Amino acid sequence: MAKYKMHLLVCGGTGCHASESESLLSHLKAIVTDKGLDNEVQVIATGCFGFCEKGPIVKIMPDNTFYTQVTPADAREIIEEHVIKGRKVNRLLYVNPENKEHIADSKHMGFYKKQIRIALRNCGFIDPENIDEYISRDGYEALAKCLTEMTPQQVIEIMKKSGLRGRGGGGFPTGLKWEITSKSVSDVKYVVCNADEGDPGAFMDRSILEGDPHSVIEAMIICGYCIGASNGLVYIRAEYPLAIDRLKTAIGQAREYGLLGNDVLGTGFAFDIELRYGAGAFVCGEETALIHSMEGLRGEPTMKPPFPSVSGYYGKPTNVNNVETFANVPVIINKGADWFASIGTEKSKGTKVFALAGKINNVGLIEVPMGTTLREVIYEIGGGIKDGKKFKAVQTGGPSGGCLTEKHLDFPIDYDNLIAAGSMMGSGGMIVMDEDDCMVSIAKFYLEFTVEESCGKCSPCRIGNKRLHEILDKLTKGNGTREDIDRLRNLGHVIKDTALCGLGQTSPNPVLSTIDNFWDEYMEHVNEKKCRSGQCKALLQYVIDPENCVGCTACARNCPVNAIAGERKGIHVIDQTTCIKCGACLEKCKFNAVFIK
Amino acid sequence: MAIIKLSESKLEELRNVCKSFNNEKGELINVLHKAQGIFGYLPAEVQEVIAKELNISVAHVYGVVTFYSFFTMLPKGEHPVSICLGTACYVRGAEKVIEEFKRILNVNVGETTPDGKFSLACLRCVGACGLAPVVLVGDKVYGRVAPDGVKDIIAEYAK
């Protein structure tokens, strides 16, 4: 390999891809060639840096300069100024929102300071399409160590001791799962990687597969060795074309290098990986549903037990782990169980990747030690709430999780704390909401999702969630009663207790947690028919203040349904029965006479 | 429902796809993915062919097609517009963007314009939450779409 003096790392994740990072990459490459720097400067596309808010990102190594929102037109300046003359392009540096200072080194950015990157260790550092780069960062070393120096049971012991728990949501101890599957007797066993990230607003797994596919492949081989399986399957969403491409490339390279196939690393152990495509069903994140989907059936869950570790894919013992869980495995083998167990809290070890999104300044992908507080995540890493608004709630765990509020901000995040607070870890989506969000509407939004995604097999989920949604709809339209809220609560608990799978057992969480934490807001919708954030359209009333109205007729002329009456230079009035609450009058009034009641 | 005449060459392609998966019924979802790639959608006629090739009932195929949101039995427009309704996009105003598309194109979600140019759909999270709200036209991703930017997006394709 040529020795380069400088590396230009361009983010090639889906977020930056959508903002022309590909064209930026080709511009940079062309200019490097043009200047005759091909032997000194390498330009590569990496996986996600996590700082999606300010993408596309370009990072320059070895000096760690971090450029944000770079467009193809900036390529020439970066090469001519930074690469050739060694002067940083100030206007592209990240600006600290607090003191307006430019920060060149990403290590000093608030966004990165608190993070510890284990699962994301290679995302943004290596070219995911080049196996040599993965190998140069200790890639496949853990595999070699397991296959040549350790027995499967020894590896399982390390996994158990590390305390790693499933990152897909359930939080089941990974080592224990491997042990159970390893003890199931069968001629054929399967290792399945669950990459069906269906949780809206979450993109952890996608970023790992796009940025570091080999770490997942390596872990799957190790898992196969431990449980005695020769077949690996990755169940991945068809909506992730880039991740699928990168994974395919990586599998091909691993075969070429003898890391997959009939004789892995010359040890006689056989293992290979195939892809299976999801087709857009949230319930397929549940392991039994996922397995049925891989068998070409409707993705409906079945009763457990039997657990997949005993009877899974085509009735054979199957070990299902999530992408992020797998990404942790090689590091644990390399650095040891004690090292991993030293990070995190008593019952939740290691780190967790979160997809931070919603009304927050720094949208992106972050990885923090378990036990970090929500306040640190939202204010220090996330940079606080967008547009200086007030924090209202954070939704963790996606449609299965709950809304946490200000009083939970100093909670250390781990599996058990989140459940105690009425939410859950889930796969790691974290959506921040501000004062403009109506919590009743948010609960309704999630229920809409669950109703659509319920597979329909068991009645608590199929019928119960539909009823929850109807009641919430009634509340947002101003027709709710006090009894409706009690009904929501009762029904919610019944569904939780009786539904067949994880989807139904958690689907009332958004409703129950918002009722608990935002009781006043629910009561306002019922008693005063008022929505304080103005999101429930049916509860709004546009009114003209006679004090401010000058009779300019602008509102009346722009009203699409002629609901506003009034003479020129006289006071105007809105007829509430005709008004469709479109807000056109509010926008057009130059005298602040129209307001929302 | 009117019977759709499928072109023989495409049907041949479909049969070859089934064959490439050894006519294995466990490969149904993979076959459907390819079939949707060939025809753009999965009308009843296509499902019948697949059922015959894989030796399973049409009801089974129909059950799978209707279960997964990725599969569609309605043809999409020349430029399929999909609006992300993931939570991140929702809290950043995706609903208003949908309303604007509905208003300008004069169709509802799940429908295609009479001239066949645009179809409107919602999807759940493309994972570009940093760019919320996100709109996809074909494979092209538009980020941070505001309601008043909608007409410009449509204009790009309306020619």
pLDDT digits over A125-159, tens only?
999 999 999 999 999 999 999 999 999 999 999 99
For range A391-410, the mean pLDDT: 92
pLDDT confidence bin for B1, thresholds 50/70/90 = very low
Q: Which one, of B45, B55, B157, lies nearest residue B104 by Cα?
A: B157
In the block, which residue shows the tokens 């592209």?
Answer: A92
A270 has pLDDT over 70 = yes
Tell me the domains of chain A and their CATH numbers: 6-111 (3.40.30.10), 131-340 (3.40.50.11540), 351-434 (3.10.20.600), 439-528 (1.20.1440.230), 541-596 (3.30.70.20)
Nearest by Cα to A507 from A357, A409, A397, A419: A397
Q: Which amino acid would we find at residue A139?
A: G
In the structure, what pLDDT confidence band is assigned to residue A226 with cuts at 50, 70 and 90?
very high
| Across B94-105, average pLDDT | 93
Residue type, position A546, single letter: P
pLDDT at A53: 84
State the distance between the two ends of chain A, measured CA to CA, in whole angstroms. Answer: 69
Asked whether the beta carbons of residue B32 and residue A279 sit closer than 8 angstroms, the reply is yes
Give the pLDDT confidence score for residue A129 in this predicted structure. Answer: 95
Residue A82 and residue A43: Cα distance in Å, rounded? 14
**How far apart, in Å, do the first and last CA atoms of chain B sit?**
32
Mean pLDDT, residues A321-341: 97
pLDDT range class, residue A582, cuts 50, 70, 90: confident
In single-letter form, the type of residue at position A164 comes to L
Predicted confidence at residue B13, as pLDDT, reads 95
pLDDT of residue A422: 86
Query: Is the pLDDT confidence value at A406 over 70?
Result: yes
Which pLDDT does position B3 carry in this prediction? 63
**C-beta atoms of B87 and A277 within 8 A:** no
Does residue B25 contact residue A296 with C-beta atoms inside 8 Å?
Answer: yes
Q: What is the DSSP letter of A102?
A: E
Residue with tokens 């000194």: A40
> Do the Cβ atoms of B87 and A395 come within 8 Å?
yes
Write down the mean pLDDT value for chain B. Answer: 90
**Which is higher by pLDDT, A142 or A18?**
A142
Contact (CB<8Å) B87/A429: yes
- Whether residue B136 lies within 8 A of chain A, CB to CB, comes out as no
Highest mean pLDDT among A351-365, A487-501, B126-140: A487-501
A576-583: which pairs have CB atoms within 8 A and are 24 or more residues apart? Answer: A576/A541, A579/A541, A579/A542, A581/A537, A581/A538, A581/A540, A581/A542, A583/A542
Instruction: Kindly determine whether residue B85 and residue A455, on different chains, have CB atoms separated by under 8 Å.
Output: no
**How confident is the model over B12-40, as a mean pLDDT?**
94
pLDDT of residue B2 exceeding 90, the answer is no
Q: State which residue of chain B sits closest to A281, comparing Cα positions.
A: B68
- Residues of chain A neighbouring B127 (CB-CB closer than 8 A): 14-15, 197, 202-203, 206-207, 240
Predicted-complex ipTM score: 0.86
Percentage of chain A surpassing pLDDT 90?
Answer: 77
Q: Helices in B1-93 by DSSP H: which ranges?
A: 8-20, 28-39, 44-54, 58-67, 87-91
Q: Quick: pLDDT tens for A336-379.
A: 999 999 999 999 999 999 999 999 999 889 999 999 999 999 99
Q: Determine contact: B62 vs chain A, CB below 8 A.
A: no
Binned at pLDDT 50, 70 and 90, residue A96 comes out as: confident
Averaged pLDDT for residues A65-86: 94
The confidence score (pLDDT) of residue A430 equals: 92
Mean pLDDT of A178-197: 96
Close Cβ partners of A335 (under 8 Å, ≥ 6 residues apart): none
Question: pLDDT confidence of A1, banded at 50, 70, 90?
Answer: very low
pLDDT tens per residue across span B7-19: 899 999 999 999 9
Whether A17 has its CB under 8 Å from any CB of chain B: the answer is yes
Question: What is each CA distance from A567 to A523, A549, A570, A587, B100, in whole angstroms?
Answer: 40, 11, 5, 20, 32
- Closest chain A residue by Cα to residue B122: A449
Q: Which of A206, A280, A442 sits opposite B69 (nearest CB)?
A: A280
Answer whether A368's CB lies under 8 Å from A354's CB: yes
Q: Domain B79-158, what fold?
A: Glutaredoxin (3.40.30)
pLDDT tens for each residue of A37-58: 999 999 999 988 989 888 899 9
